[in-house]
Structures are given as C-alpha cells and as structure tokens.
Amino acid sequence: MMKIANKILVFLLIITATLCVDVSSASAYEGTVILCYHDMPEEVRLDNYGVDQKSFIDAIEYFKSHGYTFISLDDLVKAKIGEITLPEKTILLTFDDAYKSFYDFVYPILAEYKIASVLAVPSSWIEGKKPELVEHELMTWVQIREVANSPYVEVVSHTHDLHCGVIYNPQGNKLSAAVNRWFNKEKGTYEGRNEYIKRIYDDLKASKALLEEKTGQAVRALAWPYGHYNEESAKQARKAGLEIQFTLNDKLTVANRFDQINRFLIYKNPTTLDLLKDLKLAPDGYPKKRIIQADLDMIYDPDPAQTERNLGEFLDRIKALSVTTVYLQAFADDDGTGNIREVYFPNRVLPVKQDLFSRVAHQLKSRTEVEVYAWMPMLSIELPGEASNDGLYVREYSDGKSKATTSWYNKRLSPFSPKTKEVLTQLYEDLAVHANIDGIVFQDDGYLSEEEDFHPDAVEEYRAVIDDEFSAPDFAVIRKKKVWAESKIEKLNDLSVGLIETVARYRPEVKSARTLYAPVVFDPSASEQFAQSYARSLELYDHVVIMAYPLMEEARNPRKWLAELVAVVKTHPDGIEKTVFKIQAFDWKKEKWIKSKVLDRWLKTLVSSGARHVAYYPDDYVLDNPDAGIIREMMSVEDFPFERDWK
C-alpha cells in the first residue's frame, strides 16, 4: 500500500501541479476522495497509523479553503442511485477502530466544522476483546451511542471478531481473518470452504445486531479490516444486511459505479511538506517498477531449517536491491524442462512439492515491502498419471499429418480443450485461496505456433471460423488462414483473462501480467507465428512483459536492439506505461551468466531510451549473480537517478 503522501498526491496532482496553485480553478476530476484515519492523539509516538491533531486540522482547513465539499455516506449513496448530483470535488472522512481520541477530539471538531463522518467499530473490541498489540484506549458503548445519534457520525461495522490475523500456512504466518482460510497446525488441515463461509456470516451478523442494539440506529455498512475482502466474504456481508462495504485500495470512488467503496489509508502522520517529499511517482502518475523474477526452486530444500536459512538470504538480497516487485515462481521445475508436475501451494490438480509459496510471499511483503506476483504456467502442466494427459496436449500439423507438438514447451494443454480450462481454473483458484498475492504473471508458455494447434477439440472450431466448406479438415489450407490465427490469439486471451477473473474472486485487487516474445512487438505479422498480439495484450492486461533477450534473439548489437524495441513500444497507446522490459541475466546458449556490467549497460539503455518498467531473470542470491553492487543503481527505486543521461 502506498504511503498516504503518495496517495493523496495522486488526486491532488490531478487538480494542481503544486500546492501553490489554486485548485478551485483547475479542471475537475471524477470521484470522491475518501480518507481513512485511525488514532488522533496530540502527538504521535511509534504509531504508523496515528495522525496528530494539528495535522488533522491543517488538512481540514486546506480542503475547505481549496474548494472541496465534505459529504456524508448518505450523500454518496443518494448519488449512486441518482437522487442527487455531487459537487465536482468531494471528500468523505472515515475513522476506523473507535479509539477514544475520536470521542475526545475528532467528534467535537466535526461538530464545529459541521462535517459528516463514518466511524467503523470492531464490536468485540468494545466488548473487552481488544488485541494485546492495540494499546490505544477505546470508546465505550455509551460514547458510541452518543456520536451515532448525532448528525455528524454514521456508525458502521468493522466486523465483530475478524479484525485480527489467522494462521494460514504451516509455517505459522498470519493474515487477515476475513479473507484467509485458517490452518489447523494440530491436525495439519486447512479450513474448508463451508466452514469459512459460516464463520464470516456468523461474525458479520453478530456485529450488525450488537451495534444496532447498542446505538439504537440501523447499521447498513461495513469497513473491512485492513481493507481485505473477497467475493465470498462480500457475498456473506450482503447476506448479513451490510450492503455498503469500504476497502483500502488507494482509488477515488465514483458514486454511480462503486461496489466496494475505495479509501486512502492515512499513513505515517503526513504534513503538507510530506506530500511533496514522499512523492515517488512519475509525472503522469504511473509508478516505475523494478522487478526481479525469482526461482522458488533455489530457496526450497528438503530440510525445512535450511529452507528458512535460504529464505533469509534471499530476503536480504531483495531488501538490499530495493526493488518494487518480485515475480515469484509458484511451481517446481528443477530440471528446467518447462513441463510442470509439482507446485508449491495446496491444490486439487498437481502434487505439492512443499507448502512454501505462501510463506515466501508473506515474508517478501512483510519484510521487504515489495509486490509479489505469482509466476504461473498458462498451459504447460502435466497432470498426474499418463492417462490423465492422453489427448489433452497441443498438437501440430507437419509432414502431412496432425501429431504431438515438437515445440520447446512440448506438453502444453490445448486451450481448446474444456478439460484445460477446468483444471487450470481449479489450480489458479487454489493458489488464490492460499496465497496473499498482488498479481499473476503468466509464463511464456502461452503461445501457439503456426503449426499448432490441431488438437481434436480445435478441429471442432474450424468450421466456425473458416469460410471454406469441407467434409474433412484440410490442415494445410487452414493453417494459412489469417482468421484462424486470430481465433487462436483470442482463445489464449480468453483463457488467461478467465484465470485472472478466477483469482480476483479471492484477491480482488490482483493485477495481471502476460509474457510475450519480442518478435511479436517488432513485427505484427509475427503474431501468427506465436498466436500472440502485443496491441491486444495492452488492452487486456495490467502489464505486458516483453522477453527483451538480445542474446536469445541473436541480436548483433544488443544495446541498439533494446533501444529499437523501446522505440516500437512507444508507438503504441499505453505501450510505455504498461510494458515491462525483462532482460536476460544468463546466456542459456553458452550456459553462463552475463557479466553484471553488461547487464547494467542494457538496463541503462532501456531506461535512457524511455522504458519505465524493467526486470531481469534469472537471479542467484547465493552467488550474487548478477552483482548487486553493480546493478543496484538501476534496480533500486530508493535512489534511482531519473534525470541522468546514459546514452
């Protein structure tokens, strides 16, 4: 989650280039700014979520003097159903956890300024079940009833007893109780889906009933603890009578389009100067990404104690490099064949090599504060038992007949087979249930060559896309049909987008990244060779990862080749903003690591040519390949020298 300084600046910069400009004269933006506060002491001490009282008043004065209108939750709901039209610049204040500072300080300020607000109450805390780590004094039921019956506060649920963590993996990591299945260490089992649903519903129903009993007011809304929810928990909330739901996902809220209401979390007690000093966004609002794609196979060891030591070394490296994102391998591929037989998370499809992915992802996010994308195969998996795979794989047409493909990824499931969609949906769903991830990055196995796919299920679709009438498929003719190539592109797109939608039911803020081959970018006609479209991928995915591997592509002048690649990307709408240029750190043809100084020059070439997001693969944290001391300048976002000319 971005620092609040960054987050508030996102919407302030839409209105004005600097705080010295009168925002009331700037162009309007669409959306309501909803801020989430916690404790409000006179002076903040060792509390990342506390805001001192002077800073709060300064913020109120700033917004009031710059043309903003403070609205209520009722205003937002009425705007959603079309009863009223909101002013151009609106703000809603929300306060989580019912700290006593709200009653002592915030409530009188709201009354003085005549500002409406939302107070989210974790009802079990008020009943005496406050977590040990929460040191702040809480409001009493008498005080909560008083503010709830004023015109300035609407009390909403913050759940009854879900504002806590549950152990969600065998290693004992904890995550929010509202969205994660708890792991029973004594039995070695995970909470079942029906158990999870009942736990969520019972809690939310109890919270609503208790709040209404204690305040005498109807309760219609819920603020999810930590902002975490999923499709099932949201469904149970609606079933419990809590139709309006707040999150913490750093976006403006558009009244006529919201489902979950977006909020910006106030973090680290920001002042007006903090808003400027903490700015680390590109001028147009797109954060730059520096990404390492990492093999979980290198961290795994049969000895759990050694695995933990390996993990510690890996975390130290990621922290030292100060990257923004890790594309973390979620499957096992020790022999490097690309044919995936095992994964590192509980699932219904493939054997589990070790229940490790959630542990590593958790430690990366908590100790190094990076985004974690699960690096997953799109097609290349081997189901247990040879019989399970019979008839499922992609087939090619060569030597006058249809046969098993000879491509590098020679055991890809055919995207035309209904069985493929079924098993991949289960696999991705189980990943989402058990892992706290920010995104999915699809492996480069999501392609079909010109000679592919002549799977029997694909043949059934030929008549729908080929105009020619024929009694038996003429493969030699069909493979040359442009309409058939376009159909294969969309088949792969539909499959991958469907998998992202599956994950989003459990991790609603999940982002998507699709890996494509560089020739597809350079030459649109190459789309038919791979069944990949760069332009279409820019429309469908949050990011497109281009395998910018100059040695693999046999580029005679790697730096010139990389610069030309960036130039082509610039010609596409959103190309630079959405494209990740991933370079190779290893020469697979010569089987040796590329010199770190060469890698550094490649990175500089990309960025000086205009690339915004760069990545590399592979990484060896044990042997320091590539050399962290050499590449850190280019990979770290802490001290990245944006203005330097490396040409």
Q: What is the pLDDT of residue 29?
A: 40
d(CA 394, CA 407): 10
Mode of pairing for the β-strands spanning 586-587 and 613-617: unpaired
d(CA 554, CA 490): 29
d(CA 105, CA 443): 53
| HSE-CB for 353 with a 13 A CA cutoff | 21
Given a cut of 90, is residue 44 above it in pLDDT? Answer: no
Over residues 363-386, the mean pLDDT reads: 93
Assigned superfamily of 4-10+30-277:
Glycoside hydrolase/deacetylase (3.20.20.370)
Residue keyed to tokens 């009943």: 127
Confidence of residue 643 (pLDDT cuts 50, 70, 90): very low
Torsion of CA 319, 321, 325, 331, to 10 degrees: -80
The string of DSSP codes covering 268-304 is S---HHHHHHT--S-TTS----EEEEE-GGGT--SSH
Distances (CA, A) of 558 to 67, 109, 534, 592, 627: 53, 62, 21, 17, 20
Return the domain boundaries, the chain: 4-10+30-277, 290-635
The domain defined by 290-635 folds into TIM Barrel (3.20.20)
Over residues 437-458, the mean pLDDT reads: 92
- % of the chain at pLDDT higher than 90: 69
Mode of pairing for the β-strands spanning 395-398 and 401-404: antiparallel
Q: What is the pLDDT of residue 176?
A: 95
Given a cut of 50, is residue 17 above it in pLDDT? Answer: no
| C-beta of residue 123 within 8 angstroms of C-beta of residue 210 | yes
pLDDT tens figures, 244-293: 999 998 777 888 777 789 998 888 887 644 533 332 323 344 578 999 99
Distances (CA, A) of 507 to 190, 227, 278, 542: 18, 11, 28, 15
| 109: number of Cβ within 10 Å | 17
Given a cut of 60, is residue 241 above it in pLDDT? Answer: yes
Residues in the chain: 647
